[in-house]
C-alpha cells in the first residue's frame, strides 16, 4: 500500500462496527489519513484492543467502545462519553450490521427483528443521537453503509435487503433535512467484498458469484475505504443524497 496523505489530520471520525471486515478497513483508512477514529464493536474486546494497538504502532489514533447500536439508551450514554472527549465530529459512518440469511418461509421473527434492529434501528439510534451536534456545527459528513442487496434484492435476504433498502430511503430524506446546515449525507452500497464472511463461503459458490460480476472478482475493504475517504473529503463538497455502488458492476443492469 502506498503511503496515504494526512488529509484528515485533526479530524474526528466515528465508525460503528469497526473491528471486522469493511468496518475495520474504514477504521484503518481514516486513521492512516490522520484522523482520530472512535469506533464501536459489540462482542470481541480482544479484537478491538488489537486493532487499537496496531493503529497506535502505525502512528494513528483509534479508540473502541463496546456498545450495541440497537440499544438506544446505550447509544445515548455512549454519545455523552464521546462528546466529553471531542469538541467536533467531522465524519460519522454507520457501518454496523448483521446477517441472518434464510428463505422467508423459514425465517423466524427473531431472525427478522435482530437484523432490522441492528441494521436499521442502529442507524437511526446513532444518527439521531449525533444529528443535533452536526447541525450546531453547521458542517459534517454522514456516510451510511447499505448494500446492493438493498437495491436489487437477493434471495434468502429479505430481512437484510429490507434493512439496507430502508437505509437508502432514510439517507435521502436526511440529506434534504441536513443540507441547509452544511451537513452532507451519502450512501455506499457494496457488493461482494473480500472479508471473513465471504471467505467462509464454499469455493464453488464463490466461483459462481464471480460469474455475476463483470470485473470477475470480489472487492476489498481497502477499496470501500478509499471511496469513504473521498465522500468525506472536500473533493466531494457538492455531493449529497447519493448512493454509490462498489460492486464491480454486478448491479449495473
Active-site residues, by number, are: 160
- Identify the three-state secondary structure at position 129: helix
- Nearest 5°: phi and psi at 221? -60, -30
Strands 12-15 and 91-94: parallel
Helix (H/G/I), strand (E/B), else coil: 64: strand
For 187, the enclosing helix (H) or strand (E) is strand 183-190
Bridge partners (DSSP) listed for residue 26: none
- Which of left, alpha, beta for 235 (phi over 0: left; psi -120 to 50: alpha)? alpha
Read off the DSSP letter of residue 5: P
Amino acid at each position: 500500500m502506498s503511503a496515504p496523505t494526512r488529509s484528515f489530520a485533526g479530524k474526528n471520525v466515528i465508525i460503528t462496527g469497526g473491528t471486522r471486515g469493511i468496518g475495520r478497513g474504514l477504521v484503518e483508512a481514516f486513521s492512516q489519513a490522520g484522523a482520530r477514529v472512535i469506533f464501536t464493536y459489540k462482542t470481541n474486546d480482544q479484537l478491538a484492543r488489537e486493532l487499537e494497538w496496531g493503529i497506535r504502532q502505525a502512528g494513528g489514533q483509534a479508540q473502541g467502545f463496546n456498545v450495541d447500536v440497537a440499544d438506544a439508551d446505550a447509544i445515548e450514554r455512549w454519545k455523552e462519553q464521546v462528546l466529553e472527549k471531542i469538541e467536533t465530529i467531522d465524519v460519522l459512518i454507520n457501518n454496523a450490521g448483521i446477517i441472518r440469511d434464510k428463505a422467508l418461509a423459514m425465517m423466524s421473527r427473531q431472525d427478522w427483528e435482530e437484523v432490522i434492529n441492528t441494521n436499521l434501528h442502529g442507524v437511526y439510534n446513532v444518527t439521531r443521537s449525533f444529528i443535533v451536534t452536526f447541525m450546531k456545527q453547521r458542517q459534517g459528513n454522514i456516510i451510511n453503509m447499505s448494500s446492493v442487496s438493498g437495491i436489487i434484492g437477493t434471495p434468502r435476504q429479505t430481512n437484510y435487503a429490507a434493512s439496507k433498502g430502508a437505509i437508502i430511503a432514510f439517507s435521502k430524506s436526511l440529506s434534504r433535512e441536513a443540507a441547509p446546515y452544511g451537513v452532507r449525507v451519502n450512501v455506499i452500497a457494496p457488493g461482494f467484498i473480500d472479508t471473513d464472511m465471504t471467505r467462509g463461503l464454499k469455493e464453488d459458490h464463490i466461483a459462481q458469484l464471480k460469474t455475476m460480476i463483470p470485473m470477475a472478482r470480489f472487492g476489498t475493504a481497502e477499496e470501500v475505504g478509499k471511496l469513504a475517504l473521498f465522500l468525506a473529503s472536500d473533493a466531494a463538497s457538492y455531493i449529497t443524497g447519493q448512493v454509490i455502488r462498489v460492486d464491480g458492476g454486478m448491479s449495473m443492469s
